[in-house]
Structures are given as structure tokens and as C-alpha cells.
Amino acid sequence: MASSKKKTWFVLASILLHTGLGVGIFASGVWNIERLDGTRMSSSFAVILPPMPAPAGGDIKLAEVKLDRKKKPPPPVIVQLETKQDASTKPSEVPTTVIGEGSGSGSGSGSSTDIGECLVDCGPGTGSGSTSPVVTPPPKADEDTFVPPNVLTMMRLSGSTQIHPSDVTKISMQRDGRTRTVGVAKVCVSESGAVTHVSMLSSTKYPAYDAQLTAGIKTWTYKPYAAKGRNVKVCGTVTFVYGMK
């Protein structure tokens, strides 16, 4: 009886020991699984969707994009003033008298009250049949030769071009609300290069300043202008522009 009881307790202790060992192994395995789940890294993925099928009735037509090209600005137009040279007057044609060759003699007399017709260049009649000779006027001198403004500028040898208006003129310009005035002068130069004529073709709108410009130009000297192998008198224009800031 005593040995059977010992065996029974031994079996029970063995069962309890194995049961506790199994429970411990199970709990340890569950704890390891939770640790692995806690350290698991999250991952993401991308999916490329296939292109949408074309609608029935044909391919999709894309709108045409038109590029708006800027038009190039037109090239600047440079306007140049050209001074035309006056044509020289043609000399008047003087009729000539042709005397033919021949011989003859005769005599006669008579009287008449009619006034005869003059067949040559005759002057006014005296009523008695005689005429006074006509004096032919001398031919006119050649007119002035005009040169471009840049040529006249290159011919100038001396003289100041910085001719400023007086304080009175400046005050008048301020009263008129003007900050800029322009004047154009005609200048004639002799065969020796001296200034012989100055006149204002376009006034500066201020007579006192016009007089200053005229007086200043008369002090200039020029290089003689040669044409056809000799020095000739020439004329040209000079433009003055004065501005106040």
C-alpha cells in the first residue's frame, strides 16, 4: 500500500512538472512572436495603372498650340534733308545779223510818213527814220553754290559754336514753358573763306538770341571751296539747338 501511494504521488508530480514546463515553453514562444511583430518594418508599393482605353469614334485629338511670334519692329527711317542747287539761268540768246556778199549800185529819192519795220535789234525810233543802238546788259553772275551742312561744317576753320542765349532770353524761355529752342541759319562764304552773308531761315522764336547767333557766325572763318579748278562762293545751313535741363 505504501509503495502504491508513492508511485501515485510521483506520477502526479511528474504530470505537474511537465504541465508547468509546457506552459512555460508556450508563454516564451508567444512572447517571442510579439517581439517580432513589434519590430516588423512597414513597407509600401506603387502600382502603375494601365493607360485608359481610347473612346469610341477615333483617336483623341490634341489642341494645336500656336506660338505667338512677336513681330520685329520696322527699321528706323532716317530722313535726310537735301539742299537742291538752284539751276543757273541760261544766258539770253542774242540774235545775230548775217551780212551776205554781193554788189550793186543805185540811186533814188522819196518821202513817206509811214514808220518802217526794223529788221534787226533796234531801239526806240525817233520818228525821222533813224534808230538808237540797244545796249545789251551784261550776263548775270553765277548764283551761289549750295553745299550740304556736313560739308560746310568740315570747311569751318575757326570760331566758337557754343553760342548760348543771354539770361534775359533764358528767363523768357522759362516763362513760355520752353526747355529747348532750335534755329537754322543760312551762311555764305566767299572765295577766300570769309563769311559774307548770314540770315536766319528758321528763327529761334527769340529775336535777341537770333541776333546773338548771327553775330557769332560772322566771326567764323572757313577753308575756301574749290570747284572746277577754282575757288567759288558757297552757301549752306547751320542748325543750332539749345536746351535747358
Average predicted confidence (pLDDT) for the chain: 72
Residue at 31 is within a domain: no
pLDDT band at 239 (very low <50, low <70, confident <90, very high): very high
Rounded CA-CA distance 8/126 in Å is: 197
Residue at 178 is within a domain: yes
At residue 80, the pLDDT reads 44
At residue 163, the pLDDT reads 92
Give 120-167 pLDDT, tens digit per residue.
455 555 555 555 556 666 555 556 789 999 999 999 999 989 999 999
3-state secondary structure of 69: coil
Give 65-120 pLDDT, tens digit per residue.
555 565 655 555 444 444 455 545 554 544 444 444 555 454 545 554 555 555 54
Give the percent of the chain with pLDDT over 70: 51
pTM exceeding the 0.85 threshold for the entire prediction: no
Residue at 192 is within a domain: yes
Residue at 35 is within a domain: no
The DSSP symbol for 148 reads: -
Q: Give CA separation, 222 vs 37, 94, 127, 193, in Å.
A: 110, 39, 58, 5
Cβ atoms 233, 155 nearer than 8 A:
no
Domain span at residue 216 reads 145-243
Residue 4 has pLDDT above 50, yes or no: yes
The tally of domains found in the chain comes to 1
CATH number at residue 170: 3.30.2420.10
Residue at 184 is within a domain: yes
